[in-house]
Amino acid sequence: MSRNLPKKIVLIAFFAVVCAIVLVPFYAIALGSFKPGKELVRNGLNLSFDLSVMSFDNFSFLFTGDHSYFTWFFNSVLLTVVQVALTLFVSSFVAYGFAAYEFKGKNFLFICVLLIMMVPFEILLLPLYKLTYDLGLMNSYSAIILPGLANAATVFFFRQYLRSIPNEIITAGRVDGASEYGIYFRLILPVMKPAFAAMGILNGMNSWNNLLWPFMVLSDENKYTLPIGLKTLLTPYGNNYDLLIVGSFFSILPIFALFVAFQKYFIDGMTAGSVKG
């Protein structure tokens, strides 16, 4: 016990330093949300706690001012929930096919999934934009949701997770007369809760923070998501830092709450797939 104590102390100290470094930006933006925009332009985001310039004016403006912040916020929530739910459902179906069945071309198709993971989205941007335009999906949430339904990284993770589940579960279901869909929904899905939680958090973060693709396909201000809306606050003709800083602070809270709520499943899901490769 005494031999491991120095190692534990070093580890605790190391992670305490890492935690402090990670929390510094959150502390800076939290302080900045109490400062007027002129102060932010003059001194930028900093760690100084100056009560003489701090007030609740930004928060008052957020909840009572004439702006579209909460429209953008609701749009982001709606889009994130729908996109994550559909992505998890479709990707888990694809991954289940790779993990549970043997068919011609299976390895080739899985290699294609791995190759897609290596392609930067920026390379696909122009052809995807042209395809979206040709299909008449511009300025709609379908243009944002559909391209990522079978997410390559999510498919890969689910496939690795499913390979750690004993095949006897599927065999037992077939012996008992369950259909293939019944096996998936009644036997596989309950076991995959940690994996769904882990991928739900990661996909939720990506969807919530996604700016480039929604910015290219959405033109109606009433359909803007939160990242696009916050970007419009910075223009060559004037910058609304008062709303930008407090709005950015509030935009962090949903993802933070999501991670806190599902952190146990997140850790279990991220580690379970390594049991069997």
Residue 48 is predicted with a pLDDT of: 81
More confident of the two residues 37 and 207: 207
Give the rounded percent of residues in the chain with a pLDDT score beyond 70: 93
CA distance 209 to 252: 10
Query: Residue 268 pLDDT > 80, yes or no?
Result: no
Cα separation, 188 vs 169, in Å, equals 8
The total number of structural domains that make up the chain: 2
| Triad 42, 48, 52: Cα angle to 5° | 75
Per-residue pLDDT at 136: 92
Residue 85 has pLDDT above 60, yes or no: yes
State the residue range of the domain holding 155: 67-272
144 and 251 share one domain: yes
pLDDT at position 276 is 46
Is 277 contained in some domain? Answer: no
CB 272 within 8 A of CB 264: no
Residue 145 pLDDT: 92
- Segment 45-62, tens digit of pLDDT: 788 887 888 888 888 888
Residues 48 and 86 both lie in one domain: no
Residues 199 and 135 in one domain: yes
Q: Given 44, 63, 82, which residue is the final one in a domain?
A: 63
Quick: pLDDT tens for 99-135.
Answer: 888 888 888 988 988 888 888 888 889 999 999 999 9
Please check whether residues 114 and 241 belong to one and the same domain. yes
Token pair 């869909």: residue: 181
Q: Are 84 and 220 within one domain?
A: yes
How many residues would you count in the chain?
A: 277
Exposed, middle or buried, 167 (CB in 10 Å: 0-12/13-18/19+)?
exposed
Return the closest-CA partner of residue 32 out of 13, 7, 11, 50: 50
- Nearest CA-CA partner of 129 in 244, 54, 216, 219: 216
- Reported confidence tier of residue 236, pLDDT bands at 50, 70, 90: low
What is the per-residue pLDDT for 131? 92
* 86 & 27 share domain: no
Q: What is the pLDDT of residue 266?
A: 66
pLDDT of residue 90: 93
CATH for 163: 1.10.3720.10
Fill in the amino acid letter for 224.
Y
The DSSP line for 25-73 is HHHHHHHHTTS-HHHHHHH-S-----TTT--SHHHHHHHHSSS-HHHHH
- Whole-number Å distance between alpha carbons of 25 and 263: 21
Tell me how far apart the alpha carbons of residues 105 and 205 are, in angstroms, rounded to a whole number: 33
CA 26, 230, 260: angle at the middle one, nearest 5? 40
Residue 274: per-residue pLDDT = 47
109 sits in which H/E element: helix 106-118
Same domain, 161 and 39: no
- Cβ atoms of 91 and 206 within 8 Å: the answer is no
Task: Let me know: does 231 contact 159? Beta carbons within 8 Å.
Answer: no
**Environment class of residue 181 by beta-carbon count within 10 Å: exposed (0-12), middle (13-18) or buried (19+)?**
exposed
Q: Is 166 helix (H, G, I), strand (E, B) or coil?
A: coil
